[in-house]
Chains A and B, each alone.
Chain A
């Protein structure tokens, strides 16, 4: 008797279970064997027995959880036997440094779990690799047609213009400490901004890790080492939670900016007291999500987290089989 198709892959509330290999993808609680798509805390938890991930993701997890125990590196494109007749191949997802989609193969059936991804260029990681498969398990963080992220050059331009217009204050940019911050810095450098960028202490270690992985970020210094006057006319980076924190009182009359896909919606920016919204996201926007499904052209699309109802509707309108998975614990309010 043969098992029904794809019964070896089972979405459960706390992650995706690869049944014959007794392994989990991005589980939200500790398991004996985990495959981790990327280093963001909602996907990469500590405490697993064995963690299979790209070397960069493992380095990020080591930095966050102070342990390398059970780390099992997988290079991009390397096909790994994970037992039970299942192989896993980590492919670039274009989300952040080390981020991967995971291609799982079993008995001639191919399943891709994207983790988080985007399609626009990012100087800090290799681009998303379009790979054919039967079941495509995609995120949908920005799965609403109102979300289209403008070209990043436009947003970097706005940031530099605001800086030029405010020589006596600083522009305080709220950005995710892993990925977004380094991408914004790298894009600022690419746009010719070579001056010191001041960092919140929580960002320093991750920026150093990026540089160790070959992403050059130029002259970075800590806000705690600066005087108010030194920071006038410059750009300061901090995690979003610090924007309205007492920490920001040491800055010279900051103009509050935020680099996030949510900034596309005015009221979202208003809620956070953002004065300079920068629509910069490390997730696929609506156009990228729908284009990717068309390019990958799977038999079935499963949607893990985000605005899944709208993407589900789009699949229905385009005669594509799809279902939403009720996974817990993935939410990205800060992207």
Chain B
């Protein structure tokens, strides 16, 4: 545990990607099995201990520390795990016990139930110092926040054992922590993990945004960028799995897709819900709002399946009946996919149609109509592009339509987390429910915490501190004096908000230091933009 705690601590203080890689690689080389496998899982959020929640830790602290002192400390530190690790009363004069191994800690955490957690956790805390407690709580509650993405961890693994990162990525997702076969192969020169009959995730190919400039349509094909969630459907060894963009297995959320793929294949597509919003009646997809009803559920009620039936609009084929198509150019894969379509049930699959245009200007004109169809924009794919993991320059572009803009007034500000724990960086803003000069109120319409520079953040923080009307813990109500030009992708009706609407992807487009608050937009403007 000491080694892992030290690694975590070192990662916190390291910003350079290369030094992070070096730290993780050194740890992976030096640590024992299966500790290093567990560490890898922990760093990439691959562990889940449902019995331990942030609230479990908070409740333990409440029994030992005055609630007001806890709240003040938590607010200052900005992180529950760190606050608890610092405030935990050190046991007095106990002889130091031998270091717990990470595997042992994982085993004990996994055995916890809600009922036993409050008894067992204190015993673990007592055996560790502040650094160790921090590591333990982060391990148990997830969310390491040390700036280590799964990609970085895979790269570090590849570096540590001098193997190809693409291979690491492929095997990784098919195995579960502590990845015994992965280490046997990578670290000890063992055989390649046998995964032929496992429906495993393959890394997605992603797109760069097309900022300015254009592409030649002789080289690039255009497709709609559908507003659902990107999924990979995999069938192997008689089993079908649905993976999200991050490689998470979301099969349980979409059971209707698990027995409709008649052949072994790996397909890339957009998961959508039946409806008429996207692409009209012929397009047959509902808005993202409808899809959202289905996301994040571990079990799905029959009514859900009936009211929000899911299907996959296919983009690409990676593997088909034993053939790996990933090195083939897009145009061949597209032809293969088109030939495949008649074999797939139309109830659950359709093909993402190509958008034909004589030239780029004409394509731009077509894209501009996309808003009416609640589509995010266009994808531009090089006709010769192989299917490669990640974002590769000049192969695929996403060409999103311009965002909608509205002027909102800042109402509340909350301190950020992590690096932003001393700055008010999360803003709630509203629009006028009528004529502000006739006494209309502001109603909140959204929240955003991005779209400004570090310099602007400092200035915003100063504004918040100087214009505070009320404090509610970390939240401050501010004078109605600052206007944000807010950019967003679409707006939908919502029962959860008093304003009756919810924005999608709101971000701060510009800070209008110059604009008087009463000139900000009214709710009716936003209501006019609703597309459900």
Contacts and interface: CB of A to CB of B under 8 A. Distances in A.
B86 interface: yes
B14 A275 contact: yes
Contact of B72 (A270, A277, A310): A310
Interface string B51-77: 000000000000001101100110011
Contacts of B82: 265-267
A267 B66 contact: no
A242 B81 CA distance: 32
A146 B422 contact: no
Interface in B22-73: 65-66, 68-69, 72-73
A266 to B, nearest CB: 5
B149 interface: no
Contact of B12 (A146, A264, A270): A270
B419 A271 contact: yes
B15 A310 contact: no
A76 interface: no
Contacts of A13: none
Given A310-B72, A313-B66, A313-B69, A267 B77 contact: yes
Nearest to A264: B86
A146 B13 contact: no
B78 interface: yes
Interface residues of A, number: 23
B15 A313 contact: no
Contact of A267 (B14, B68, B86, B421): B421
B73 A310 contact: yes
Contacts of A274: 13
B13 A277 contact: yes
> In the complex, which of the residues B69, B77, B87, B418 has the most CB atoms of chain A within 10 Å of its own CB atom?
B69
B112 to A, nearest CB: 26
A142 B14 CA distance: 26
Contact of A146 (B76, B418, B419): B76
B425 interface: no
Contacts of A267: 77-79, 82, 418-419, 421
A157 interface: no
Contacts of A317: 66
Interface residue tally on B, bucketed by range: 20 to 34
Nearest to B89: A145
B16 to A, nearest CB: 9
Contacts of B68: 310, 313
A205 to B, nearest CB: 31
A275 B82 CA distance: 18
Contacts of B66: 313, 317
Interface string A127-150: 000000000000000001110100
B78 A273 contact: no
A270 B77 contact: no
B15 A146 contact: no
B275 to A, nearest CB: 44
A145 B87 contact: yes
Contacts of B287: none
Contacts of B78: 267
B277 interface: no
B87 A273 contact: no
A214 B365 CA distance: 80
A50 interface: no
B72 A307 contact: yes
B65 A145 contact: yes
Interface string A251-279: 00000000000001111111101111100
A309 interface: yes
B83 interface: yes
Interface string A292-309: 000000000000000101
Contacts of A144: 69, 72-73, 76
A265 B419 contact: no
> In the complex, which of the residues B14, B68, B78, B79 has the most CB atoms of chain A within 10 Å of its own CB atom?
B68
Contacts of B77: 146, 265, 267
Contacts of B65: 145
Contacts of B12: 266, 269-270
Interface in A277-331: 277, 307, 309-310, 313-314, 317
B420 to A, nearest CB: 8
Contacts of B421: 267-268, 271
Interface in B86-136: 86-87, 134
A314 B418 contact: no
B83 A146 contact: yes
> In the complex, which of the residues B13, B65, B68, B418 has the most CB atoms of chain A within 10 Å of its own CB atom?
B13
B73 A146 contact: yes
A313 B418 contact: no
B69 A310 contact: yes
Contacts of A146: 73, 76-77, 83, 86-87
A270 B73 contact: no
A145 B130 CA distance: 13
A314 B72 CA distance: 12
Contacts of B14: 275
Given A145-B65, A146-B77, A146-B87, A313 B419 contact: no
Nearest to A277: B13
Contacts of B422: 268, 271
A145 B73 contact: yes
Contact of A270 (B76, B86, B87, B418): B418
A307 B76 contact: yes
Contacts of B13: 266, 269-270, 274-277
Nearest to A147: B86
Contacts of A313: 66, 68-69, 72
A314 B73 CA distance: 13
Given A267-B418, A271-B419, A276-B13, A145 B76 contact: no
Contacts of A307: 72, 76
Nearest to B16: A275
> In the complex, which of the residues A144, A146, A265, A273 has the most CB atoms of chain B within 10 Å of its own CB atom?
A146
A275 B65 CA distance: 31
Contacts of B79: 266-267
B254 to A, nearest CB: 38
Contacts of A148: 86
Interface in B171-189: none
A271 B13 CA distance: 10
Nearest to B12: A266
A238 B13 CA distance: 20
Contacts of A264: 86
A264 B9 CA distance: 12
A145 B14 CA distance: 27
Contacts of A310: 68-69, 72-73
Contacts of A273: 15
Interface of A: 144-146, 148, 264-271, 273-277, 307, 309-310, 313-314, 317
Given A270-B419, A313-B68, 14 more contacts: A144-B69, A144-B76, A145-B69, A145-B86, A145-B87, A146-B87, A266-B12, A266-B134, A267-B77, A267-B79, A267-B82, A270-B15, A313-B66, A317-B66
Interface of B: 9, 12-15, 65-66, 68-69, 72-73, 76-79, 82-83, 86-87, 134, 418-419, 421-422
Closest 7 CB pairs of A and B: A146-B86, A310-B72, A267-B421, A146-B73, A313-B68, A275-B13, A266-B12
9 contacts: A266-B9, A267-B418, A269-B13, A270-B418, A271-B421, A276-B13, A309-B72, A314-B69, A317-B66
